[in-house]
Each structure stands twice: as C-alpha cells, then as structure tokens.
Amino acid sequence: MTINNKIETSNDYGILHGGENSKDMSTFSKFLCIYSRNPNTFELYEARDKQNSTFGPNWDEFKMILQKNVLKATEYEYGEVYEYIIPVSAFADTSFSLNGNIAKFIRFPTNNIDFEIKVSEYWKAGESQIRGVITTTENENVFNDWFVFHILDQARLHTSETPMDPTISTNYAELFTRFFEENLKNTVVQDEWDLGGRQHFLERVEYFTKRMAKIECILPAFPCKSSNTQKVYSLFPDMGEELAFKNLISCVEKVSKIYPPGIKIWIVSDGHVFSDCIGVDDDVVDEYTRKLHNLYKTCAVPGIDAIGFCGLKELFFEGDTSLKFNEEWVAEITLPHYTGSKICQGSELCRKILMKGCDTDDGRLREQILIPDHPRLHLYRGFSKFMIEDLRLLSHFKGASNKTYKKTACKVSFEMIKRNDAYSNLVDLVFPHHLRLSIHAHNNRGPKFGIRIISLEQCRPIKSLNSVEEPEYEDLLHIPTPWHNCVVKVDNNDKYYLTRSSVIHEAISKGLYKGEWCIEHSTGGHFVIRKVDNELEKDAAIVKVSDLNISNDDNSISSFEDEQNEKKLQEKGEEEEEGDLVLNSSITA
C-alpha cells in the first residue's frame, strides 16, 4: 500500500490551505490569531496565534500594517464588526523592511502565493480594548462571518485589557503551579510535565498572575450519566458528583490563601456534544444538568465563587450575536445518529453549528486509522473498545448480531473523535487564555493537563471489593469518573470507594454483602454495604436482585437480571469474534 507522506507522522494535524482544501473548510480552519489591542496606540495587550502563525511576536511590524489599513478609534461604534482585507502587497511596504514577506507571519502549507488575510475588529460595549481576529479569506460565506462575529463577542478576553503590574514581587505563578502539581495533577506513566509541560502551564498562569487577576480554568466534564446500568445506579447526579464538587471547591479555597485574587473553574459540559453518540436522550442531559447545578448550590461555600457552568447552548446562544443567527446557514449539515436516542431540535442545532464551525477533519482521520502505530489509530482503538462496552445494554441494539453491533460501535467512535476535536477547537476559541484541564490522562506537556477530579483521600477507585488497591487502566479513556461509576461505603470503614454498580449488585446477590442505595442527609446517593460474616447471615442476606432497584418514579434504570443476561451474551460474542477492532467496513459511510 502506498502511504501519503503527509499523513505518516504523529504531528500531521496541520490544516492545509489553498486549492481544493478550501472548499469545505470550517471557520476554525481559517483562524490565524485572536488578539486585543489599545484602540488608539495599537499597542498589543495579548495575542493567541494559531496554526503556527506569528502575529504576536511580530506585532510591532504588523501594527504598522494595521495603522495603514483600519479605521481610527473615533470611527468605531460599539457592537459593530469592522472587516479589512489585507492583500499580500501590504506586506511589501519598504518603510518597515518586510519586503513582501508575508511568510514572516504565516507558516503553514498553502497553494496560494498571493495569500490574502482578513482582519475583523470589534469594540465590545463596556471594554476599553478592541478585540480582533485574523483569518484567511478562503471559503467566505455568511455563516463564517457570523461565527467570527460571535467569537469576537463571546471569547473570554476581558482580562486582557487589565495592564500587567511590574511591581508584583511574589512569584504567584510558581506558587500556584506547585500547588497544582501537588494537589490536582494526574500523573501518567509517560508523563512529560518536567519535559516542557510545567513551563507551558506556568506561562498560562502568568497571563493572570502578572495582572493580579483571578486565575480561570476550563474543565470539559460532567456530561451526563452513562447509559450503561452496569456502571451507574441512575440517570442523575449522586455522591460521585458531590465528591468531585467538594474536591474542586476545596482546591479553590486553598488557592485563595496563596494567591489573593483566587481561582475559578469553568465546567464546560460536553453532554450535548456526545449525547446521541452514547445513547442518552437530549432531554435527559438537560435534566442531569439542572440537577447538577442544584447539587452544586448545596455544596457551594458562601462568598467563594468556585465553579461556573456552560455548555453548547450557552456557548452558541448567549449574547447579542446569537440573535443574528439563521438556522438556514447549517441546513445542509447532516449528523449521523447510531444509538436511537431522542434528539431535541435545540441540541441538534448546536451540534450542527459546532461541526460546521469547528470540524477540522478533511478525510485524514479515516486515512490515519489505517496506518500501523499511528497515534490516531491508538486513539480510535481506545474509543472503540470503550464504546463497545459502554453501549452494550442499549435497547436499540437488542437483537443485533455481535458483528453488527461492533461495527456500529466503531462508527460511533469515529464520530466521537471528530466531535471531540471540533469541541476542543471551539473551547480554544472561546477560552483562548484559560488553563485547560481534563479528566482524561494526558501526558501533561500541554495544552491540556489531566487532573484527578476526585481525590484519593476522598474516594479510592477499585475494580473489586476484594482489593482496595487502585487498579491500573489499559488506556487513557478509562480514568474513573462519577458518570461512569457509583460510590460505595463499606460499613465500619470511613472511606468511600468508586466502582461499577455491577460490582455491588453482584456482591449483594451472592450474599457476600448486605446493603442498599442510600441518600443520607446532605449527601448524594451511594451504596452502603456490610460484609456478611457467617453462613447463617449469608443465607438471610441473599435478596431478590429486583429489590435492589428503585422505582421508575425514582429514576431507576433497567434491572440487574437483564444486565447479567446481556453480560453473558457480551462475553459469548467476544469469544466468537476476536481480533482488531479496526474494520474498514466499520467506518465507511
């Protein structure tokens, strides 16, 4: 097989420009820089370059191009976007020694020597800075114009206009970085924190600490409960989410003691990004989110603004720019749905905007997963293995052959990787300067840094009641979270454990433990169990597994007996069909 050299390596995620590559280009693919500047002097406050562009480091020269091509501050009106096409000839002005070298700013593959760029600027009401975006001029359309306008309005750039304070003597960035690595950071086997990750993290922190501004982080998490009832007890938040909130709030309180402005963590829920992929109805995600917010209110500490929330609906449909959106602009976008979940119009619209605005896959993902040892192949295999297990109990797949089911799960995995990339791109645009935290186990080199959302002091993950040792996980997707597990407390032991609900159900059904699901005062739901000590008590402890389930009114989901039957079918199917999860036929449209 002939392999295109452009897709052989692991760092081949650069976006190709010019020619045929421009026809279906997403708006994100056009972004070269997001910046904010002084309206009068053009002094740069902060810039976030993209696609290896270098407008920030070369601002003194680019500033002169702007001064020759854009309106004066007195001609700007609040809330209006001003667009300027900058031709390559603008870079040939000999007065500032560029000699036509646009390549000093743009460093990506392009088939177009006469490359133009567009500068879009916006003066947001209430701010003393002008926000700007630099994009390519490929695939221009009304949706792209709206999307750029929306990002200019919604991007969290308010801190940039706060001047840096040169009189600050305490190295707050170092203090916070040290706190993070000792209290939150999740360390993996091939960790690269000390190989550049720590410095990257430190520099992100300095954006805030040099201004004595509140440190702001983003954490894509708390999507919804898994649809797999062998993992969770019910559809809605329980003690797992409560422990996670308490851990994050505790960290925020501790940080305020070493850095007076403090820190805030934004939970950027990805529930509606993936809900149809994981077999969860859109309205169930909405209800989970509502209950999650209420749970946080019970955990919150008065006077501590620890956690904020937003999701796709908030990111796309808040602010004046959302009123200018027209659904017809995404009418041609069709998303695949494989799990039979209930689709809500508003959530689907958000997903369409996400994919049209931020999907950067141009067909390479399909090629990459066919290349041996390619990083995206390993990612795809990890997703596939996880989804084959996670979707197993959905009624939508009842009666499907094991082969058909696995192929569908692999298609789901492929779609999830694409959406995950798109959502990551969106978050990068809206939160360009925030610290990016993750509940997945990254190598911590940046830009994302893995955290333990529940500390080991609070709750220890286990795979079996026979061992309280923390298990090793085969890949980076299976890090324990509250939405794929439930919490259990063993009587006469003040510790909590995080495990699958099937582990508890099985132990009780065998008479090894007695227990039940419990909602104590001011605590989320969790199992409370006690080990059976003698044969007489063991015989008395065996209960009907149906007694372990709560009623439909209490948000229970399918019975344990059905789960066990499905588990046996799963094991039988896996014995029948071994081999690589990557099947060419599984990813064809």
Q: What is the pLDDT of residues 260-271, one digit of tens each?
A: 999 999 999 999
Q: How confident is the model at residue 472 (pLDDT cuts 50, 70, 90)?
A: low
What is the H or E stretch that residue 244 is in? helix 239-258
Give the contacts of 216 (CB within 8 A, at least 6 positions apart): 156, 159, 208, 263, 264, 265, 266, 431, 433, 434, 435
Helix and strand counts by DSSP (H, E) for the chain: 15, 15
CATH among 3.40.50, 3.30.70, 1.10.150, 1.10.3470 for 172-362+421-450? 3.40.50
3-state SS class at 482: helix
pLDDT digits (tens, 9 = 90+) for 126-177: 999 999 999 999 889 999 999 999 999 999 999 999 999 999 999 999 999 9
Give the contacts of 71 (CB within 8 A, at least 6 positions apart): 82
Determine the Cα–Cα distance for residues 350 and 422; give it in Å rounded to an integer: 12
Contact by Cβ (8 Å): 542, 367: no
Among 12-26, 380-394, 493-507, name the one with the lowest average pLDDT.
12-26
pLDDT digits (tens, 9 = 90+) for 293-340: 999 999 999 999 999 999 999 999 998 899 999 999 999 999 999 999
3-state SS class at 200: helix
Look up residue 457 and give its two tokens. Answer: 């002091």
Among 111-115, 311-315, 423-427, 524-528, name the one with the lowest average pLDDT.
111-115
pLDDT digits (tens, 9 = 90+) for 87-137: 877 877 645 544 456 777 887 655 555 578 999 999 999 999 999 999 999
The domains of the chain are located at 21-161, 172-362+421-450, 459-573
Q: Is 483 exposed, middle or buried (0-12, 13-18, 19+ CB in 10 A)?
A: buried
Mean pLDDT for the stretch of residues 397-412: 95
Contact by Cβ (8 Å): 313, 145: no
Contact by Cβ (8 Å): 227, 180: no
Which DSSP symbol is given to 444?
A: S
CB burial of 252-265 (b: ≥16 within 10 Å; e: otherwise) equals beebeeebeebbbb
Provide, rounded to the nearest whole percent, the portion of the chain with pLDDT above 70: 81
Determine the Cα–Cα distance for residues 384 and 566; give it in Å rounded to an integer: 19
Let me know how long the chain is: 589
pLDDT score for 487: 96
pLDDT score for 478: 60
CB atoms closer than 10 angstroms to residue 46 = 20
**Cis peptide bond upstream of 461, omega within 30:** no
